[in-house]
Amino acid sequence: MLDRIVLELGPWNWMVLGFVLLVMEVIAPGIFMLWIGIAALLIGAISLLIWDASFWTWQVQVLAFLALSLVSAYVGKKLVGGRHDPTDQPLLNRRGAQMVGKMATLAEPIKDGRGRIKLGDTLWRVSGPDLPAGTQVRVTGAADTDLELTVEAI
């Protein structure tokens, strides 16, 4: 049955595949199916021009489609994916990094390198030298996960 559909549609198989991939891109956007859909449409256009050529077998068409898919995905990545504009708020989603340089009082003593400070309405875990509760400290760094701050005595 599939052979019959492929034979009846001829070069339009690639066009149908290309449009299906573009519709899938609209339904689930991610800018990936777009490039593969464009490759399928291009192979369909080439097939319309040279369908009767003896070398244009289905194996050659599939290989050309795979190669064109890779090329179009690479070009698409270069066109769309390489934009990383600088932001005016580089620390927006990095709360711990926003605290660097602030001063606070230890809410709990630092014992064995761990303690707590209160900054704003949040209790933060801190690491640093052992210090008693009530000591003034300055935040000198934040862990990558923003779960712990590094402090030093003032």
Is residue 73 located within the same domain as residue 122? no
| 62 and 103 fall within a common domain | no
Domain membership of residue 145 as a residue range: 95-153
User: Can you state the percent helix, strand and coil of the chain, rounding each to 5?
Assistant: 45, 25, 30
Residue 129 has pLDDT above 80, yes or no: yes
Would you say residue 41 has pLDDT above 70?
Answer: yes
The length of the chain in residues reads 154
Are 105 and 137 spatial neighbours (Cβ–Cβ below 8 Å)? yes
pLDDT for the residue 82: 62
8 and 50 assigned to the same domain = yes
Average pLDDT of the chain, as a whole number: 89
Answering whether pTM is above 0.75, one says no
Say yes or no: 51 and 122 in one domain.
no
DSSP state of 79: I
- Do 66 and 101 fall into the same domain? no
22, 54, 82 - which closes a domain: 82
SS3 assignment, position 145? coil
Query: Same domain, yes or no, for 42 and 66?
Result: yes
**7 and 68 co-located in one domain:** yes
Q: How much is the average pLDDT of 63-85?
A: 87
Q: Is the pLDDT of residue 59 over 80?
A: yes
